[in-house]
Chain A
Amino acid sequence: MALLELKNLTLSFGGLMAVKDVSFTVEENSITGLIGQNGAGKTTIFNLLTHVYRPNSGSVILEGEELKGNRPHKAVAQGLSRTFQNIRLFRNMSVLDNIKVGYLQQGKYSVTEGILRFPSYWREEKAVDEKARELLRAFDMEPYADYYAGNLPYGQQRQLEICRALATNPRVLLLDEPAAGMNPSETEGLMDRINALREKFSMAILLIEHDMKLVMGICDKIVVLNYGCVIAEGCPEEIRNNEEVITAYLGSEA
């Protein structure tokens, strides 16, 4: 059984059909790529998965259960976490604090316990601090721990967003153009990290990307979207040779 299944998802904005009858699956421990032109509906699908939008019809099934929800923070509880196309960091908070926000839902102490500084406060804060630092270490970012997130170099900001999403302990990690704005060597580093992620945390990754080298390089499966509809779903070889995909998006190989 697939970890995540999208069934006939449809969403229209007024007269504009953003996503039409979209169905595909994401397997456990896999990296699935979601590609297509700008405006094909990729980010919209992310928004649907994380309850930013409500679909007109269709359903999302995670680990066998249909996901229902109307607030994005519920999606996190259900096991879906995402990054954003345009980086959305908490710029005036420290790098460490950014990640700690990701651990929020796993925390237990109440507002009162926090204010009165109960033992649970000290215990949990220490634990969260350690976990956050560990995450930073995995990304070679521990020296940045106390810097303001907004002061980080661009590449590190992107990484921080991924760290923050990881902190929420998702079953499926949704990455929206994580390599945007990166030079080839940074992209390679990112590729390695994403692979390492897949091994270290058992989760699936759904990846929106335009960088074909990255996509073809690490994805187990690729889903191609065009004008809101799925036009192909398969392994990189298949997709690379798919006529429709070539015309719609890839262009003939240079």
Chain B
Amino acid sequence: MTYFTMQLLNGLQIGSIYALIALGYTMVYGIIKLINFAHGEIMMTAAYSIYFFITLLHIPFIPATLLAMLLSMALGMLIEKLAYRRLRSASRLSALITAIAVSLFLQTGYAILFTPDPRAFPVTASSFPVFYLGEVPLSSWTLITIAVALAVMILLQLFVTRHKAGKAMLVVSEDVKGAYLMGIKVNNIVSMTFAIGSALAAIAAALFIVSYPQITPYMGAMPGIKAFIAAVLGGIGLIPGAMLGGFLLGLIETMTRAYIPASLSQLSEGVVFIVLILVLLLKPAGLLGKSEREKV
């Protein structure tokens, strides 16, 4: 039971991180129908930023994260402007290939600039106190991760339902041409979407590297793909979907790894991909999604 609860919390913890990254994917896909393959790399660049702020500039963790958020937002908006904006009317293939190219660019760029050698992040989860709930050890860091993620999500949800710009974002997701005609500055809204998504990825990075304190240029790839799968699981384009999908995928992954017999341990790596295929086969619109028919 103790083991189960521990794994449950672990699952929710990594799930929070997936959820935060997934939000970036889902918002961008919702608004310009593009899978931003480079999103995982935004998380990676944020990790490096936080690392350098702390180790080189001796800025404390939270301000470092905030600064990294700003940098990520700038990077996200820059990528959108330089690489994606012109391709909005181009074929899906071109856009996807460009996204992959940007992702490669960031990975190799950072590998060249900062060498591929992993760097150890100085702040680790073990430096946070551990409580005991009955027999279950609770790392306060785990709780912090989940709490931060939830808080951010609530803020985001309020933003899109109450704030004018947030609502504009939803409108553009529905119908770009209509939004234009309504006087919404679509380009600005798209930039804003990328900015928000990138900021969330930066927060996710901060939470991630404390638990997994190894920073490499390729660290964003796997969490990125998994977060995307989470977004699809919950319903791509839907903000609550990304949240639900993130937590769910984190749980599935952790539980599978925890309970799978040792001989099949390799397979736990592949379980997220099996989840993806199952979702796409059984309910492609995702758990919270509605099947949309394309108007012919």
Contact = CB atoms under 8 A, between A and B. Distances in A.
Q: CB–CB under 8 A between A and B in the complex?
A: yes
Interface string B281-295: 000000000100100
Interface of A: 13-14, 43, 47, 52-53, 84
Contacts of B182: none
B30 to A, nearest CB: 19
Contacts of A13: 293
7 contacts: A13-B293, A14-B290, A43-B296, A47-B296, A52-B296, A53-B293, A84-B296
Nearest to A13: B293
A14 B290 CA distance: 10
Contacts of B290: 14
Interface of B: 290, 293, 296
A131 B296 CA distance: 29
B238 to A, nearest CB: 16
A52 B290 CA distance: 18
A52 B296 CA distance: 8
Top-7 shortest CB links A-B = A52-B296, A47-B296, A53-B293, A84-B296, A43-B296, A13-B293, A14-B290
Nearest to B294: A52
Contacts of A53: 293
Contacts of A43: 296
Nearest to A50: B296
A84 B295 CA distance: 11
Contacts of A14: 290
A46 B293 CA distance: 15
A52 B295 CA distance: 10
A14 B292 CA distance: 10
A240 B296 CA distance: 30
Nearest to B290: A14
B94 to A, nearest CB: 14
Contacts of B293: 13, 53
B14 to A, nearest CB: 36
A13 B290 CA distance: 11
B92 to A, nearest CB: 15
A84 B296 CA distance: 8
Nearest to A85: B296
A43 B296 CA distance: 8
Contacts of A52: 296
Contacts of B296: 43, 47, 52, 84
